[in-house]
Amino acid sequence: MTLTQELADALAASKDRIPEDVRAIMADATDRIAGTGLVGGAVKTGDRAPDFTLPGAAGQPVSLSARLAAGPVVLLFYRGAWCPYCNIELRAYQHALGRIADLGASLIAVTPETPDNSLSTVAKHNLAFDVVSDVGQDTIADYGLLFDLPDPLVTVYRDFGIDLPKSNGENAWRLPVAAGYVIAADGTVRLHHVDVDYTKRLDPEDAIRALEALRG
């Protein structure tokens, strides 16, 4: 099953668990974020990927430019371990990691969560790729992905027991839109997926096709 289908199945199942009025608030928040034009200003295909050096789950520094020196990079931005769609995405990419590596590429996942939370995510899903923490979300902002949660959505998250200031280590209710990139070794973005709908992600199959195209 593809990641796209897994996410669609998870969304369908959630409709039985989340009350209709809450789903309406969440949908309205998505529409409001879309209305800001955020996606149009994000890093996209043809752009040069902003470099970064961020701490990995075990505290080691991970540099995009260093990874690119060895080959292409698949770069993911995800919201946090509390997000079921993010967990599905991370598992799918772990499953595809061997194929990505066979194409000479590496994989980095960026989260606004603290390194301790990232380490828990790596351990929970047995992830063998770099998960890095962008506490303060400067890199997320550099990619044009950062947004503030509308107040009604903050209330919903609090009711769900999601404490973003605690998990992200900053006194703010803000997140990245979920995004995925395939970046060539020269730093040019060859494929991007940026969507305010957090139930939609860059499918590993699409990333792998882009990597295959890089090899000619």
Q: How far is Cα 165 from Cα 171, in angstroms, rounded to an integer?
A: 5
Q: At what angle do helices 84-102 and 204-214 cross, to 10 degrees?
A: 30
Taking residues 66-82, what's their average pLDDT?
98
Task: Output the pLDDT for position 170.
Answer: 96
Looking at CATH, the fold of the domain delimited by 3-214 is given as: Glutaredoxin (3.40.30)
Token pair listed for 2: 């593809």
If pLDDT is split at 50, 70 and 90, which confidence band does 216 have?
confident
Residue % of the chain over a pLDDT of 90: 96
If pLDDT is split at 50, 70 and 90, which confidence band does 50 have?
very high
Token pair listed for 205: 């199959």
| E strand spans, the chain | 53-55, 61-63, 73-77, 106-111, 130-133, 146-148, 174-176, 179-183, 189-194
Does 203 have pLDDT greater than 80?
yes
Q: Are strands 61-63 and 146-148 parallel, antiparallel or unpaired?
A: unpaired
Rounded to two decimals, what is the model's pTM? 0.96
Task: Output the pLDDT for position 16.
Answer: 86
Taking the alpha carbons of 102, 85, 157, 82 in that order, is the dihedral positive or negative? Answer: negative
Lowest mean pLDDT among 10-14, 40-44, 125-129, 160-164: 10-14
Does 178 have pLDDT greater than 80?
yes
- Residues 6 or more apart whose CB falls under 8 angstroms from that of 170 comprise 112, 135, 136, 137
Task: Output the pLDDT for position 58.
Answer: 87
Average pLDDT across the chain, whole number:
96
Domain ranges of the chain: 3-214
